[in-house]
């Protein structure tokens, strides 16, 4: 199951490429494009430092490893350990926390049911659940006996820990379906994305989740990919993030080109880089990621060890613990 290294390391690298230029404008990136791993910048961090995107991804993985199941209480405990004690960080410091994620963790600390901690208002559709959900693709791949309903139930619950609005749930559903197709190794890149979108959209249409139509541009994928970059937004809004990720993924032909194109869109560069880096890592493989980027990735050995443990956890995990209190 080598692809877990590919995807998770790919995500961390994309995150680290984006960290130094987070919140910079597209105009700034045109004048001074990112061409490799940088240091300092926005958050004054050394080269190879990743942010909350990778931290919460690793926290989710560690919970599944430790519990041998999906346990929403334990996942929120791990998220809390990250924000309170700097667990799962690159350098022992939490330096980038999304507002919706922070509020959800505070809600949990006040005793709110984990599955009700995430924001439900339309303005709370940031990309904070999309950025950390990739491990669930590996989990579901190992539990292929689960029905579509059960798969989506898990995806939605993992998102709802911090983001409960249907727009966020749908974005995560589309992303995981694409990732699962890429893991199968039987599709071309375009086919994996197109089929993933179609599978998810058909599910949501059948359920009459009308919020699926905020992703309308993705439903005509060939037309979407022809859009110029000035029609692609890379903000922290989950719809913008998913659109920019798929536009970059399918308009490039290598891991490095893909991640750099995403980061040079500007704005929420670390998360767009992380989300696209996970998919590009799965598709192109770890050996296609530039060696000089891998060499400076913070805590690479720890990430690889966690990936190896996660493989065994997903092999033996057959229970799902749906906590309601």
Q: Residue 125: inside a domain, yes or no?
A: no
CATH of residue 303: 1.10.4080.10
Q: 77-92, pLDDT tens digit by residue?
A: 999 999 999 999 999 9
- Could you give the number of structural domains in the chain? 1
Residue 322 lies in a domain: no
Is 128 part of any domain? no
- Which pLDDT value is given to residue 316? 52
* pLDDT digit string, tens, across residues 118-127: 999 999 999 9
Q: Per-residue pLDDT for 7 more than 60?
A: yes
| Range 18-54 burial, b when 16+ CB lie within 10 A, else e | bbbbbebebeebeeeebeebbeebbbebebbbbbbbb
Averaged pLDDT for residues 201-211: 97
The range of the structural domain enclosing residue 104 comes to 3-33+45-120+133-317
Nearest to 176 by CA among 139, 126, 227: 139
Residue 127 lies in a domain: no
Average pLDDT over residues 56-79: 97
Residue 144 token pair: 């292929």
Q: Structure pTM?
A: 0.96
Q: Is residue 176 part of a domain?
A: yes
Express each pLDDT in 216-269 by its tens digit.
Answer: 999 999 999 999 999 999 999 999 999 999 999 999 999 999 999 999 999 999
């Amino acid at each position: 199951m080598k692809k877990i290294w590919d995807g998770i390391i790919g995500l961390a690298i994309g995150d680290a490429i984006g960290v130094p230029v987070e919140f910079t404008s597209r105009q700034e990136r045109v004048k001074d494009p990112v061409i490799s791993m940088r240091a300092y910048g926005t958050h004054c961090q050394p080269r190879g430092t990743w942010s909350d995107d990778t931290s919460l991804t690793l926290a989710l993985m560690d919970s599944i490893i430790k519990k041998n199941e999906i346990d929403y209480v334990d996942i929120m405990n791990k998220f809390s350990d990250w924000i309170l004690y700097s667990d799962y960080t690159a350098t022992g410091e939490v330096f980038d926390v999304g507002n919706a994620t922070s509020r959800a963790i505070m809600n949990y600390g006040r005793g709110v049911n984990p599955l009700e901690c995430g924001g439900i208002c339309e303005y709370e559709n940031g990309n904070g659940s999309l950025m950390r959900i990739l491990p669930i693709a590996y989990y579901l791949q190992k539990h292929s006996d689960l029905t579509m309903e059960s798969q989506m139930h898990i995806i939605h619950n993992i998102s709802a820990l911090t983001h409960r609005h249907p727009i966020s749930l749908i974005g995560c559903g589309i992303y995981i379906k694409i990732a699962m197709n890429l893991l199968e190794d039987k599709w071309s890149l375009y086919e994996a994305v197109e089929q993933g979108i179609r599978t998810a959209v058909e599910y949501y249409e059948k359920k009459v989740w009308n919020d699926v139509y905020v992703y309308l541009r993705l439903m005509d994928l060939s037309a979407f990919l022809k859009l110029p970059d000035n029609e692609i937004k890379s903000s922290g809004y989950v719809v913008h993030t998913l659109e920019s990720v798929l536009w970059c993924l399918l308009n490039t032909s290598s891991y490095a080109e893909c991640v750099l194109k995403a980061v040079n869109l500007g704005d929420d560069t670390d998360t767009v880089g992380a989300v696209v880096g996970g998919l590009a890592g799965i598709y192109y493989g770890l050996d296609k990621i530039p060696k000089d980027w891998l060499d400076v990735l913070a805590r690479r050995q720890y990430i690889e060890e966690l990936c190896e443990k996660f493989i065994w956890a997903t092999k033996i995990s057959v229970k799902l613990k749906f906590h309601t209190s």
